[in-house]
A and B are shown apart, each in its own frame.
Chain A
């Protein structure tokens, strides 16, 4: 009866996801504490439900005992994260927390379905990474040293990128034609994932001192060196992300639209020059404009992705009923198409909305920051997230050329998962700081009110006396 279960479950999952999305957007415009609590508990329940329904299908198909163990471990993980984090950090932004868990849960199911052995590895990384990130909010809220390390971030970031590039060239090691990985004793990691975060800290550190012209020039040159190193390593996706982060952070810090337009112009010029000089850029652009004549070559990936998306239609084929494994890189860059095929178009659109919700959550945290440095960091991380989601999903649906970027928290990849978890943890840290600031302000105001009141009382008593 597995077939029947799969067919029914795909509708149920879509409905659950729809209500989840509804609540996540309701929670965005903050209601009363009570409603907020209600949203969080409902969302928690929905995450559990979707996860359990999905992982049961995975079990029904591979019938392996390890699936039960893995499912148990993942369930414990979700319960712990959703249950314990808010206890340790009562001021945590629970909406972002549940979004994070929702994306992770979808990733657990999809990776379990696509590449079972890899999903175990991925889960272990996520579990450890989450434990690590547990201290990030604490570090963020207790220490103030972060502002002083501006150039340290720069040299660390560029150093990491250069070392990958040079090692790659010297050792001749490439992954998919680009120099991305550093390997230490069997563990390989992708520095560019972490460089994104360092870059945000670096820019925030610069811009917090103001956006005088000299400062902007320094930032532009430094960012240029980041971007060029990435272009040299052929990591175009990451280069594009950093460029967008630079443009928007400059805009937010300087409050000047002129910079934004300048950046847009520069970006278009850069893309044009890139498309002239790099053949791999040309093939991607060609595969984007019309992949069908080159379906055997450069267009293969995106057409396979479109086949998956279009066979899924609105309601999807149901897990294991599609053939997402025909898409190259289905578990990393094209995980969205794999999800779209089997979970369906409605689910995929809801997923886009949840990602948007995450981004809006990030920036909302940013708006609440009093400290400009913190504000810029939350904002920059939000931009990283939004651009990354846009690049990966836009590439999968052929809205833009594919750039080889992962879908945060869902795609396979340890570095990507770890860095995204760190990003979420930093935002949570800032969110805690932000609410503290609010609290302080409130306290101040009530204190002021009280003094006024006292005065008034005194006056009144004075009058009465008179």
Chain B
């Protein structure tokens, strides 16, 4: 078939239009009425035709919206891409390491705590210059992945090198450098914590109160990440202490002992505005439901109000408080305080446990009120609570990584302070602060008395077995004009009555301030 050229078509169209115009003109001249009628008829026809396709048009609009929603959701997927991609089930990560030199991990003050070196065989080996010191928080990259190595696996294995250069590198069979991660960890503080904990098993977490940055995280027993391969053989032969890979700071589930009295007090204060009027005479033991609750060494503390009892860590007092609480409310408030809940952090952790319900027995209630029983907490969680108390009730979101940088130190992503959640009112936090400074002024933590910095805290000893061995706890905060930190220390398996955790905390704070 012969096609008309466009010019022909244009001319034809123009002619037609002129013809129409003339036609209507003539109509107008001859018969205005008829002309109007004709117009009307035509309009109606058009309208009907449109109406006829109304449903089709609506369907088109409907599916257009559906498809746009699809595009929106696609973008949403991409928005969370990093957290999705960073998964051990993603086989791509392994493939990346063939093209990328895994990036460095640095402390906040610029010390490299994990780096990649090429050995004489041309193979990449992960090196940790400070050996055991950062072992758990940095984690490992061989034999499975843990810690920051796992949480930022994707970032360490990608590069912001421009794609053309990257392609050139691949062509030259050179690996491109991966992105570096700067943590919030402070080398000096980490060293103080590591040294102060000494040979004991346990964990220390320190959080910067104003920002929520985790400046130190130590867990013992530890391991040398550089010698993991030889360690592995020993593990197979059963020569190494069990559980040394566990990051006790976030995964260790400990009975909180007396440190839990912080929560019992908070709840009592919340439920009883006249809490100051409640007094109790401590005789060293008190019997609840046929089970005696003793104070340490059966010391009789005599007449006490809440402040004195808190300072002395009087078990009888707090067990009595426990029996006066509305347990349902207690339970909801504990969920608010992040028990049985997720923590806002992206390395492995365990959820703290609180199991009281309104059907719990008096035994369970009294035991839980003094931090024994089935309640379990992680050191990180307790540090976050101390952070909230010293921060007027506002818990900051704890974070470990402050920025991700690419080649030539170009900034890719940075993370700053973020308020996480208000877990108590300003007034409640002020009251708790009073209680906690009573502890360090004249109570169980009085070794802090001479400290030149402002401080407060709560000690704890948690019975773990019948052999009189306990876990020693300290949860507190300290500040001067420059710094403001919260701390949580737990030391495992020390003889009963030990104040090891407080001493450890004091040593650390003395060093920092």
Interface residues, chain A, CB within 8 Å of chain B?
1, 3-4, 6-8, 33-34, 37, 90, 248, 251-252, 255, 295, 300, 303-304, 306-307, 309-311, 313-315, 318, 322-323, 326, 340, 345, 348-349, 352-353, 355-356, 359-360, 363, 366-367, 375, 379, 383, 386, 389-390, 393-394, 397-399, 449, 452-453, 456, 459-460
Verify B171–A310 contact, CB threshold 8 A.
Answer: no
Minimal Cβ-Cβ distance residue in B for A359: B63
Q: How far is the CB of B95 from chain A (nearest CB, A)?
A: 6
Residue of B27, B30, B55 ringed by the most chain A CB atoms within 10 A = B55
Verify B70–A393 contact, CB threshold 8 A.
Answer: yes
Minimal Cβ-Cβ distance residue in B for A355: B67
Verify A360–B56 contact, CB threshold 8 A.
Answer: no
Identify which of B57, B71, B77, B164 contacts A7 (C-beta below 8 A): B164
Q: How far is the CB of B70 from chain A (nearest CB, A)?
A: 6
Q: How far is the CB of B92 from chain A (nearest CB, A)?
A: 5
Query: B1-26: contact bitstring with A at CB < 8 Å (1 yes, 0 no)?
Result: 10100100110000000001001001
Minimal Cβ-Cβ distance residue in B for A455: B30
Verify B167–A3 contact, CB threshold 8 A.
Answer: yes
Query: B31-60: contact bitstring with A at CB < 8 Å (1 yes, 0 no)?
Result: 000000000000000000000011111011
Verify A323–B70 contact, CB threshold 8 A.
Answer: no
Q: Does B494 contact A (CB under 8 A)?
A: no
Q: How far is the CB of A263 from chain B (nearest CB, A)?
A: 13
Verify B67–A390 contact, CB threshold 8 A.
Answer: yes
Q: Does B87 contact A (CB under 8 A)?
A: yes
Which chain B residues lie closer than 8 Å to A326 at the CB level?
91-92
Which chain B residues lie closer than 8 Å to A386 at the CB level?
63, 66-67
Question: What's the tally of chain B residues with a CB closer than 8 Å to chain A?
Answer: 47
Minimal Cβ-Cβ distance residue in A for B162: A7
Which chain B residues lie closer than 8 Å to A248 at the CB level?
59
- Secondary structure call for the A interface: helix
- Secondary structure call for the B interface: helix
Minimal Cβ-Cβ distance residue in A for B50: A367
Rounded to whole angstroms, the CA-CA distance of A313 and B74 in the bound complex is 10
Tell me the residues in window 440-459 of chain B with beta carbons closer than 8 Å to chain A beta carbons.
Answer: none
Verify B167–A310 contact, CB threshold 8 A.
Answer: no
Verify B71–A349 contact, CB threshold 8 A.
Answer: yes
Rounded to whole angstroms, the CA-CA distance of A252 and B71 in the bound complex is 26
Verify A303–B89 contact, CB threshold 8 A.
Answer: yes
Identify which of B20, B27, B54, B85 contacts A255 (C-beta below 8 A): B54
Verify B63–A366 contact, CB threshold 8 A.
Answer: no
Verify B85–A345 contact, CB threshold 8 A.
Answer: no
Q: How far is the CB of B328 from chain A (nearest CB, A)?
A: 29
Minimal Cβ-Cβ distance residue in B for A2: B171
Q: Does B90 contact A (CB under 8 A)?
A: yes
Verify A452–B54 contact, CB threshold 8 A.
Answer: no
Which chain A residues lie closer than 8 Å to B78 at the CB level?
309-310, 313-314, 345
| Residues A399 and B69 in contact in the complex (CB < 8 Å), given A307-B92, A452-B23 | yes
Q: How far is the CB of B151 from chain A (nearest CB, A)?
A: 15
Q: Does B84 contact A (CB under 8 A)?
A: yes
Q: How far is the CB of B91 from chain A (nearest CB, A)?
A: 5
| Residues A352 and B67 in contact in the complex (CB < 8 Å), given A1-B171, A345-B78, A367-B57 | yes
Rounded to whole angstroms, the CA-CA distance of A363 and B56 in the bound complex is 7
| Residues A307 and B67 in contact in the complex (CB < 8 Å), given A348-B74, A397-B73, A397-B74 | no
Verify B53–A303 contact, CB threshold 8 A.
Answer: no
Verify A352–B70 contact, CB threshold 8 A.
Answer: yes
Which chain A residues lie closer than 8 Å to B56 at the CB level?
252, 363, 366-367, 375, 379
| Residues A251 and B171 in contact in the complex (CB < 8 Å), given A310-B81, A397-B77 | no
Q: How far is the CB of A323 from chain B (nearest CB, A)?
A: 5
Minimal Cβ-Cβ distance residue in A for B73: A399
Known contacts A7-B164, A310-B81, A345-B78; 13 further A-B pairs (Cβ under 8 A): A7-B167, A8-B164, A255-B55, A303-B89, A323-B91, A352-B67, A379-B56, A386-B63, A386-B66, A386-B67, A397-B73, A397-B74, A398-B77
The 7 closest A-B pairs by CB, nearest first: A310-B81, A3-B167, A7-B167, A356-B67, A367-B53, A399-B73, A307-B90
Rounded to whole angstroms, the CA-CA distance of A438 and B54 in the bound complex is 19
Rounded to whole angstroms, the CA-CA distance of A304 and B88 in the bound complex is 11
